[in-house]
Structure 1
Amino acid sequence: MCMKQPIPPQAWPLFDRYVHGDLSRRGFLEQAAAFAGGPAGAAALLAALSPDFAAAQQVKPDDPRLLTRRQAFESPQGNGQVQGYLAKPVDAAGKLPAVLVVHENRGLNPHIEDITRRVALAGYVAYAPDALAPLGGYPGDEDKARELFGKLDPAKARADIVAAARGLLAAPDGNGKLGVVGFCWGGTLANHVATQVPQLAVAVPFYGGAPAAEDVPRIKARLLLHHAGNDERVNASWPGYEAALKAAGVRYEQFTYAGTQHGFNNDTTPRYDPVSAQLAWDRTLAVFKATLT
């Protein structure tokens, strides 16, 4: 769990722009210096906002309760092949339902691998694709990952995630039931997968952007949507999305977690809100149980 220095409120919207590629590292530091006590304070602030993967890890990569491996699926409409990380319980009796875990806009980093193992321990075949695989995969550095993400072909990246979902549906480890959970960019992709894969049983986007309104009637899955209270960029799309969901008769639940920041489930950074994250995660596992088991 991330426990770091208090973050000035002015830093959150600035950091959100930086995280999503709307502001360079230099731009963040220059603007943060105005309220962080100068350049040194701005650099310390950015360091405090950066993830601490080791401190937040909940399930070790070699946890004896799990089997893990690298897994690839064909992606003819994307980059040819989608690669990722698969985890499942070691003592599974028979085939299990599957859950696709879609990362934020940094690729398959240690945090998302840990989330994947957490999902697997709940009784699922969990698979996390790596959108950065065509560019060499997660580079081990968040700033470098941020730069690489801007070089992706967005259409091919989306196609790779959809291909991962379809691959999981047919994978020998699974029983044909499929859900998806995604965070930030992955939340947007969870919504997208729901419009593209009619066999999907449930989609759980955490602070994800809405799909195109004309695609919403194609959604057959049940939706559980988690939004941060302080997330103007993402929340601006919700009223229109909700109207489209109602018009299409899609079954959904939506929760806004007051006072939280975009990324509140990410326990590697100070954006983490433990109370809201636990509540959202409990709701997520409950809807997986209701729809997949």
Structure 2
Amino acid sequence: MRVFVTGATGFVGSAVVRELIGAGHLVTGLARSDQGATSLTAVGADVHRGDLHDLDSLRTAAAAADGVIHTAFIHDFANFPASVETDRHAIETLGDALAGSDRPLIVTSATGLVSGAGVATENSRPNSDFHVVSRYANEGLALSYVDRGVRVSVLRLPPSTHGEGDHAFVPGLIDIARTTGVSAYPGDGSNRWAAVHRLDAAQLYRLALEAPAGSKLHAVAEEGISLRDLAEVIGRHLKVPIMSADADHFGWLGGFATADMPATSTITAELLDWHPTQPGLIADLEKGHYFGTSRKLS
């Protein structure tokens, strides 16, 4: 299968590209820069130049593919509505290009969108926190293309998609601990983040190419790691005190650090026979690679 991957040079997308190639698929990856193009060529992928704002480029690549995996998202929390709008236009363009073909389109979302009322399942409704409801609407937009002959699946990633090269929320916690001199958890630290290793997530993206139209999938290997457990590992590695703190201590990460976002993947595992095998989040942290150069998402 010829698969077009957006976000192909990113933390998750690059793992998806390697997973697909390893399984014998042909991959065309979207690249914004010469450096990105070189990295794709090095792993055996073809290069399609463009970005999420270049809708003509997205349309051309999708039309030429047997399936599309959309992993790209602009994580600009200072202007999140604009990021959601860009994602919406990209989904519309990809869906229009595949309409009537019964080809797969896998759209990335987040389990945090549907957390907040117990453990989130694939059938949970959206959370009202973090101004994410508009991004949840993009899930609905993607799924509307099922009625237009596209085999759409929505794949939700958990708050921690971890592994070497992670530059998201866990590195953010580590950088805050370095800056403040304490490794903090909110309140009593019992709130949880679901987690998955990026290599396990990449395998699920590959399996999702065969998922039934309208599938909602959770790339969740661990239902919930408490923020206190995370703080204890971080504090031990950085040799700083571990303590409770309020949301303000976490700066831009405050809303996420204080949220309880557990999730399951029972339905996904049964549907696609997906069984994660990579190390869990705490085990990954214990390897030490998270405590090198700062790589926080901002």
TM-score range, shorter chain: 0.3 to 0.5
Could you state the TM-score of these two structures normalised by the residue count of structure 2? 0.36
Query: Relative contact order, CA 8 A, sep 6+: which one is greater?
Result: 2
Under a length normalisation based on structure 1, what TM-score does the superposition of the two structures give? 0.37
